[in-house]
């Protein structure tokens, strides 16, 4: 049996009947629903779902999520410059930092092209940083002294961009 609880679909594992005593002479029974995630809820806060309603909620959950927006190379350049403004960074961290924007995605190929562009224009330089306990060194990127002004301009473009 599935229930809708606070907008989430939960699977019922058991019903718990508990005795609640007001005083020594009076008591009442409370029913709780226990779900597979370990949470408890009162039945009047839950909506029992039929199979048809369950399919409908699952469909809405899957197909009506906000669509992902993939960054273009230009936007990727802006994002990389925004990341490099604060500190030196590496490729997978640039992608991980983008997760703060839940609807934005950045493909590896676009990120590599953006980094290559910035390196070819000498706005960004790269170096190898050895990692303890790991065989290969990590390729780090940093803003070059000559490219600081342009990188700041690109980072400001990222700050002013609105994604809908």
Per-residue pLDDT reduced to its tens digit, 108-151: 999 999 999 999 999 999 999 988 877 788 899 999 999 999 99
Say yes or no: 74 and 99 in one domain: yes
Say yes or no: 87 and 119 in one domain: yes
pLDDT at 120: 95
Domain CATH number, residue 126: 1.10.10.10
Say yes or no: 79 and 155 in one domain: yes
Say yes or no: 9 and 41 in one domain: yes
Whole-angstrom Cα distance, residue 69 to residue 80?
17
**25 lies in which domain range?**
2-63
Domain count, the chain: 2
Say yes or no: 21 and 51 in one domain: yes
Residue 154 burial by Cβ neighbours in a 10 Å radius (0-12, 13-18, 19+) = buried
pLDDT at 164: 37
pLDDT at 24: 57
pTM here? 0.60
Say yes or no: 155 and 74 in one domain: yes
* Whether the Cβ atoms of residue 94 and residue 111 lie closer than 8 Å to each other: yes
pLDDT at 52: 72
- Which of 40, 63, 86 is the C-terminal boundary of a domain? 63
Rounded to a whole number, what is the largest CA-CA distance in the chain? 84
Per-residue pLDDT of the chain (164 residues; tens, 9 = 90+): 766 666 666 777 766 666 555 555 666 666 767 777 767 676 766 667 676 776 676 666 656 666 778 899 999 999 999 999 989 999 999 999 988 887 889 999 999 999 999 999 999 999 999 888 777 888 999 999 999 999 999 999 998 887 63
What percentage of the chain reaches a pLDDT higher than 70? 68
pLDDT at 21: 58
* Whether the Cβ atoms of residue 140 and residue 80 lie closer than 8 Å to each other: no
Say yes or no: 76 and 53 in one domain: no
């Amino acid at each position: 049996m599935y229930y809708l609880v606070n907008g989430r679909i939960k699977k019922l594992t058991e019903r718990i009947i508990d005795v609640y005593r007001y005083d020594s002479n009076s008591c009442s029974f409370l029913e709780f629903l226990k779900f597979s995630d370990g949470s408890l809820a009162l039945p009047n806060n839950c909506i029992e779902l039929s199979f048809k309603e369950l399919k409908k909620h699952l469909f809405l959950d899957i197909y009506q999520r906000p669509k992902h927006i993939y960054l273009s190379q230009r936007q990727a350049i802006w994002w990389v410059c925004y990341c490099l403004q604060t500190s030196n960074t590496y490729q997978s961290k640039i992608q991980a930092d983008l997760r703060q924007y839940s609807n934005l995605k950045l493909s590896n190929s676009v990120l590599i092209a953006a980094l290559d562009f910035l390196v070819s224009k000498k706005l960004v330089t790269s170096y190898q940083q050895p990692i303890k306990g790991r065989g290969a060194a990590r390729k780090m990127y940093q803003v070059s002294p000559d490219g600081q002004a342009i990188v700041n301009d690109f980072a400001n473009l990222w700050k002013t961009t609105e994604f809908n």
